[in-house]
Amino acid sequence: MTGKTDRSHDAAEAFGELTRIMARLRDPVSGCPWDLEQDFATIAPYTIEEAYEVADAIERADMNELRDELGDLLFQVMFHSRMAEEQGAFTLTDVIGAINDKMIRRHPHVFGDDKERSAHEQTVAWEEVKAAERAGKAGSETPPSALDGVARALPALLRAEKLQKRAARTGFDWTETPPIFDKLEEEITEVKEAISSGDPAAIEDEVGDLLFVVANLARRLLVDPEQALRKANAKFERRFKAMEREAASERVDFSSLTLEDQEAYWQRVKRAERA
């Protein structure tokens, strides 16, 4: 019991120190000029970047890196909270209080008298509570939508999946996979037609529709499209760098090769991976 208390005390002290550091950085007189110039909009891209770096450290199973990246992400929370406090909007205490209340509200089977739930039942209940919260936040003149609350700043592929999941809860979804392939073929045809038209706006629109259907197919196949694309990116990067190394080992300038010769290197790398 004492060990657990000591760890809690250490965490509280460290958190307090971080709060003081953040306040010092934003001090109007003695603070850091760069930190003082920032606002919510300029910091938001860094917040998103840090979240991705956390995910990258997890994917690489690098615990030391994960520790550091979680610290960077926590600092982003401190930064936004400090700026909000300066404006009189809310404080870090309000932020922590809000998430405490939300977690207790969304886990009545843990903190209340609700019955024991399976993981699936908890997922369903979680979404029901979130839907009720969204309905409570909606303006009186705006009827709530099943799509409310899907953040616009999410990566487009991830947002497409979330929008589709929300729509599916209303019954607006394919019940089988074959119609999705039919839709894919339809969208590919429309991309080709847009290319023939030479209209850049139409091409962009149809390519977007095609990607949206691909995200739907991934969801239907229980594949995380964002994760699948990250793995495809990593595969491409690994194979491309391997081609460059092979060419360099043979004293060949890879960029000067014809596409056919580059493809030969690509196939060689693929065969080596599968061997």
145-223 has which fold? Helix Hairpins (1.10.287)
Residue 147: pLDDT band with limits 50, 70, 90: confident
Cα–Cα distance, 127 to 125 (Å, whole number)? 5
Distances (CA, A) of 202 to 93, 96, 189, 195, 214: 49, 46, 13, 8, 18
Residue type, 179: P
| 63-103 pLDDT tens trace | 999 999 999 999 999 999 999 999 999 999 999 999 999 88
Question: Collapsing DSSP states into helix, strand and coil, what is residue 57?
Answer: helix
Q: Given a cut of 60, is residue 138 above it in pLDDT?
A: no
**pLDDT at residue 20, rounded to an integer:** 96
Say how many residues make up the chain: 275
Residue 263: pLDDT band with limits 50, 70, 90: very high
**pLDDT at residue 76, rounded to an integer:** 97
The answer to whether 177 touches 217, Cβ cutoff 8 Å, is yes
**pLDDT at residue 124, rounded to an integer:** 64
The answer to whether 69 touches 53, Cβ cutoff 8 Å, is yes
Residue 128: pLDDT band with limits 50, 70, 90: low
Angle between helices 63-86 and 40-59 in degrees, nearest 10 = 160
Superfamily of domain 7-106: MazG-like (1.10.287.1080)
